[in-house]
Copies of this chain bind each other. A is one copy, B any other.
Amino acid sequence: MRLTRFTDNALRCLMVLGWEPDKAHTVQSIARSMSMSYEHLVKIVQRLAELGYVETVRGRHGGVKLARAPELVRIGDVVRATEESLALVECFTPGTNACPVAPACQLAGFLDDALTAFLAVLDQRTLADVLEPREQLVPLLRTTPTRLARGRG
């Protein structure tokens, strides 16, 4: 059981933006600072923009920035929206299910309860929680923005 790289990198992208919420970052600089693939991050930023988590700023100093306060970005919601599927087993997808006992089986219900508990824990956490401890996290970025390195936080 694993989250997709898409979700993992979406969360990392939001962290980079969250540390400097007023600044527009280029996708290239976000990718570099978190050691992510640029091409993959382009798709992630597009999806995060569709979802309303980030917005694009045009112009010379343009780029991507957070569209909401970090306190309003629930980790559970990000996971729900960025995971390609939360179908834990094949019978969660009736169209392609091959398990013959699915119509009466309770296992799917138990797994669904477990998934609900998983997401409920993440709903109690926001991007703001993940941005701490800022003074330890920001210096670990591969390319620390000057402003941040000077101890703005």
Interface residues in chain A, defined as those with a beta carbon under 8 Å from any beta carbon in chain B: 1-5, 7-8, 11-12, 15, 33-35, 75, 79, 83, 85-90, 98-101, 103-107, 110-111, 113-115, 117-122, 125, 129-130, 132-133, 136-137, 140-142
Contacts and interface: CB of A to CB of B under 8 A. Distances in A.
B35 A100 contact: yes
10 contacts: A1-B88, A3-B88, A15-B107, A34-B100, A35-B100, A103-B140, A104-B140, A110-B130, A114-B117, A114-B121
Contacts of A110: 75, 121-122, 125, 129-130
Given A106-B129, A110-B122, A101 B15 contact: yes
Contacts of A125: 110
A100 to B, nearest CB: 5
Contacts of A99: 8, 12, 34-35
B129 A2 contact: no
Contacts of A98: 35
